[in-house]
Structure 1
Amino acid sequence: MSTVQSSQTNTPSAVKSSISTKELALTGMSAAILAVISQISLPMPTGVPITIQIFGVALVSTVLGWRLGSLASLVYVLLGAVGLPIFANFNGGLSAITGLTGGYIWSWPLMALICGTRLRTGSKTLNTFFAFFFPIIGTLVNEAIGGLQWAALAENMSVLGVFTYSMTMFIPKDIVLTIIAVIVGMPIRRVLSRQL
């Protein structure tokens, strides 16, 4: 009798720690959304296009949380790495990750992990603050990793040059896109959490 009770007690936590079929479907759909959003880009002379991919990663991680958000981003990155043309301007392959803009791409799972982090403090004001704070930090981490790889591989750009260019062309836009993604994603997350 005690053995039966023990297994019944452990079952919910085991199920809770695994990924359900609905969550798996959401992860796949989110990876597909990232692939679509990635095609919205404006080519630039520097070779680093202006995109709204940050919006996609921030939105997915806001809606799904750190676990599923980072998994969806990882699936997207891996699918692109094996050759599917799902990165910006229909690029794909390992060279897209190891090349000039690769750092911006392969750090998305890390960005999603940070963006999807939620703190429950007991204060609605603090909860709202952290709902925006972590995504902005995640965006800045992504910008830093991408910028460092860009500077390391570019022959005509120093770290200072990349940072200056990023502060002008990318970072302000990406912070605004991240804030919009959180604003859009939070009500979707609430609806979705009731369905799951």
Structure 2
Amino acid sequence: MGKKRKFRTIDLTMASMFVALMAIGANITSWIPFLQVANIPLSMQPFFAILAGLLLGSRLGALSMVVYLFVGLAGAPVFAQFSSGFDALLGSSGGFILSYIPTAFIVGKIIESTSKPELKHFLLASFAGIFTIYLVGTNYMYIALNYWLNIDMSYAAAWIAMTWFALKDVIFTAFGAVIAPRIFHATKRVTRNSSNTKIAS
């Protein structure tokens, strides 16, 4: 079993960037109000969570999502509609917040499974990510509504309610998968050059 590489400063910087992007993605409708369906804000979080896995890898991508989660639980208004704390996690959308951690990990693992990832690998990883988000998030929403929020909703209705959101996320997921390879390889060059500079000094 290979020894796990330690995180470098540039790795942690990029992870921090994705924590910030998740906070922005959660509240993008505060700046672009028309991105709503039935007064429910559309989130860019799935896009950034998947991109974190694609660009940072499984460990660092998942870590950035864990940090995002704990920043919100600690009281920073980084969840949707500038919410925070455990109340947001126990709400109907709490499962989506939790889903970003395994999503980034799974997406990263798929990219790491090949030495030279191509567009098809980015597409596979991205759609595995969106599947994970909706599998965890929608099931959690159904359980939350029916068991502790006291709102009756059938399992089928829960999935139907997510249709518009899923359509948006599928489009953005495909877009992210297409642009990710160029960013991925550029990022690898930057991190490689950073390592070489450190060794040379």
Structure 1 and Structure 2 fold alike (TM over 0.5): yes
CA RMSD of aligned residues (A): 2.1
Q: Which amino acid aligns with 1:17?
A: R
Cα deviation for residue 66 of structure 1 reads 1.7
Cα deviation for residue 60 of structure 1 reads 2.1
Matched, 1:24 2:12: yes
- Residue 58 of structure 1 is matched in structure 2 by 50
Q: Matches of 1:70 and 1:179 in 2, distance apart?
A: 21
TM-score after normalising by structure 2? 0.80
- Residue 106 of structure 1 is matched in structure 2 by 98
Long gaps (5+) in structure 1: 1-12
Number of matched pairs: 178
- Residue 61 of structure 2 is matched in structure 1 by 69
Task: Name the CA shift for 1:44/1:92 in 2 (closer, same or farther; >3 Å).
Answer: farther
- Residue 180 of structure 2 is matched in structure 1 by 185
Q: Matches of 1:179 and 1:24 in 2, distance apart?
A: 27
Long gaps (5+) in structure 2: 30-34, 146-150, 192-201
Q: Which amino acid aligns with 1:133?
A: L
Could you tell me whether the CA contact under 8 Å between 2:122 and 2:178 is conserved in 1? no
Q: Matches of 1:107 and 1:78 in 2, distance apart?
A: 14
% same residue: 26
Task: Name the CA shift for 1:149/1:49 in 2 (closer, same or farther; >3 Å).
Answer: farther
- Residue 159 of structure 2 is matched in structure 1 by 163
Could you tell me whether the CA contact under 8 Å between 1:111 and 1:141 is conserved in 2? yes
3-state SS, counterpart of residue 75 of structure 2: coil
Task: Name the CA shift for 1:146/1:48 in 2 (closer, same or farther; >3 Å).
Answer: farther
Could you tell me whether the CA contact under 8 Å between 2:61 and 2:104 is conserved in 1? yes
- Residue 78 of structure 1 is matched in structure 2 by 70
Cα deviation for residue 110 of structure 1 reads 0.5
Q: Matches of 2:125 and 2:165 in 1, distance apart?
A: 18
Q: Which amino acid aligns with 1:185?
A: A
Cα deviation for residue 49 of structure 1 reads 3.5
Deviation digits for residues 33-86 of structure 1 (CA, Å, limit 9, x no counterpart): 2111211145555x8632121111122222212221111111111111121101
Q: Which amino acid aligns with 2:170?
A: I
Higher-Rg member (1/2): 1
Q: Matches of 1:163 and 1:135 in 2, distance apart?
A: 20
Could you tell me whether the CA contact under 8 Å between 1:147 and 1:159 is conserved in 2? no
Q: Matches of 2:179 and 2:7 in 1, distance apart?
A: 25
Task: Name the CA shift for 1:43/1:83 in 2 (closer, same or farther; >3 Å).
Answer: farther
Deviation digits for residues 127-162 of structure 1 (CA, Å, limit 9, x no counterpart): 432221122111111111111111112213111101
Task: Name the CA shift for 1:153/1:44 in 2 (closer, same or farther; >3 Å).
Answer: farther
Could you tell me whether the CA contact under 8 Å between 2:141 and 2:158 is conserved in 1? yes
